[in-house]
Amino acid sequence: MLQVRPYARGVSRLLGVAAVLASASLLLATSAPAHFDTAGRFTHVACPGSPATRSDPVNVVFHHWGTWGRAESQLVAHTGWAAASGTTQHFLDHGGCFPQHTQRASGEGSRFHVRIRGQHWDGGLGWAAAAAAHHEDLVLFPFPCGHAVDANGAEGSGFDQGRDELEARFRDAGHETSRVWWGNTQSIRQCDGDYAASDGWTLLVRLHQVNH
């Protein structure tokens, strides 16, 4: 018959408590970030991301079946934006900073352009991807500077135009869309010297499980 000595029982208890604590910490570590992180509402030109590296406002969220691959596939299906050129920007998620997964554009000159990154699964939104959409001009005069997001104007800024275009395309294709106030209206200076800003409204687009 196995006899357990007093000190051995104590060790067992300690091991048991340690195991419970380890399990609890594992559960906490995996469940705490189970939401779509809206702390970083801008893309960043480099990592680690900080307010000094902000570039474009995040103004579209693909949700429910919003993995980045589905977002890209369904976006190309509904917009025809097949070009994939553009610089890499970065997205924040639960304290980390990560490069975009993909980007799509309507051409190479003046164009619509959107950068996409799959983000953390969310209890309310399901699989979700954050996106930064805009319309940009190819600026060659008075000095060639490349792509610059349209300044604020009668049709909204280039950021608003990009979001509005995606809203119309996805809504016309039967996707459920809505808007949520994010307030990320900070002015972003462009290479032509103008400033552009989001109007603060972010578009939510519900995606299908099955791609087109």
Partner 1 sequence: MRVVGLLGLVASVAVLVVGSPTGPGGDRSLEEARSFEEFPLYFAGDEVDGLSLAAVLRRDEGADYVSFVYGECSPTSDSGCAPPAEVQVWPADMRYAGSYDASAGAPSVELTRIRGRPAAFVGDGMQLELYTEESTIVVFADTRQRLLTIATALRCLGRDHDGPREERLGCRR
Backbone angles phi, psi at 114, to 5 degrees: -140, 135
Binding residues for partner 1, total number by CB under 8 A: 60
Using the contact rule CB under 8 A, the part of the chain among 11-19, 67-75, 76-84, 86-94 near partner 1 is: 86-94
Check residue 60 for interaction with partner 1 (CB under 8 A). Answer: no
The 3-class secondary structure across 116-177, one letter per residue, is EEECCCECCCEECEEEEEEEEEEECCCCCCEEEECCCCCCCCHHHHHHHHHHHHHHHCCCCE
Closest distance of CB 182 from partner 1, Å: 6
Of 69, 110, 171, 199, which lies in the binding site for partner 1, with binding defined by CB under 8 A?
199
Tell me the longest C-alpha to C-alpha distance in the chain: 93
Using CA atoms, how far apart are residues 112 and 32, in angstroms rounded to an integer? Answer: 36
- Residue 48 preceded by cis peptide, ω within 30: yes
Query: In degrees, to the nearest 5, what angle opens at C-alpha 212 toward C-alphas 113 and 66?
Result: 60
Instruction: Supply the DSSP symbol for 98.
Output: E
Check residue 191 for interaction with partner 1 (CB under 8 A). Answer: yes
Of 16, 80, 107, 183, which lies in the binding site for partner 1, with binding defined by CB under 8 A?
183
Check residue 165 for interaction with partner 1 (CB under 8 A). Answer: no
Check residue 51 for interaction with partner 1 (CB under 8 A). Answer: yes
The answer to whether the CB of 12 falls within 8 A of the CB of 5 is: no
Of 93, 136, 150, 165, which lies in the binding site for partner 1, with binding defined by CB under 8 A?
136
Of 5, 154, 172, 210, which lies in the binding site for partner 1, with binding defined by CB under 8 A?
154
Check residue 212 for interaction with partner 1 (CB under 8 A). Answer: no
Closest distance of CB 89 from partner 1, Å: 7
| Helical spans, DSSP H, in 55-105 | 68-79
Interface residues with partner 1 (CB under 8 A) are: 36, 38-42, 45, 50-56, 61, 63, 86-87, 89, 92, 122-125, 128, 136, 142-143, 145-149, 152-157, 160, 180-191, 193, 195-197, 199-200, 202, 204
